[in-house]
Amino acid sequence: MQNYKNHLRLNPAHHFVLTPLSLAFFVWSIIFAFDCSADLSYRIITLIASTILILTVFIARVYAIKNQDRIIRLEMRQRYFEMTGTSFSAKEKQLKMSQIIALRFAGDAELLPLMERAIAEKLSSKEIKLAVTDWQADYHRV
């Protein structure tokens, strides 16, 4: 059962293989770039390749998170409209994206009061998540 303590999702291939190996290759390529015994063009190509790899790994992660955030915002707009019959835009302008993401975990019965409290008290995403009593699990986050 998902809750605040175990809701963070890690992708083992990304977090424990691809990112560490890419970082190691990047660091090695920087060290290798100063190795005077190797051909200069090979050192430059290695440094460029490792830079491209590390940027690709991080940009892919950022794209996935941004897309996920957009989907959560749309989900919250739909939930809010279904619950109130009004647009979420007024509330959305008063909330940070991190707060909207945190509110996503609240059950329908507590969503609106917790949203009002988050706005009034400027609760952080952590405080919002800790205040959730009816945790709605999300097993599809990346």
- Within a domain: 59: yes
- Within a domain: 107: no
Q: Range of 29's domain?
A: 11-69
Q: Where are the alpha helices (DSSP H) in 85-137?
A: 89-92, 97-103, 108-121, 125-131
Nearest Cα residue to 107 out of 73, 74, 135: 135
Query: Per this entry, what is the length of the chain?
Result: 142
Task: State the total domains in the chain.
Answer: 1
Confidence at residue 36, expressed as pLDDT on a 0 to 100 scale: 82
- Within a domain: 62: yes
- Within a domain: 87: no
DSSP 88: S
Strands (E), the chain: none
State the pLDDT confidence band at 104, using cuts at 50, 70 and 90: very high
pLDDT in tens, 66-97: 999 999 999 999 999 999 999 999 999 999 99
pLDDT in tens, 46-74: 999 999 999 999 999 999 999 999 999 99
- Within a domain: 16: yes
- Residue 5: half-sphere exposure toward Cβ, Cα within 13 Å: 1
What is the phi/psi pair of residue 106, to 5°?
-80, 140
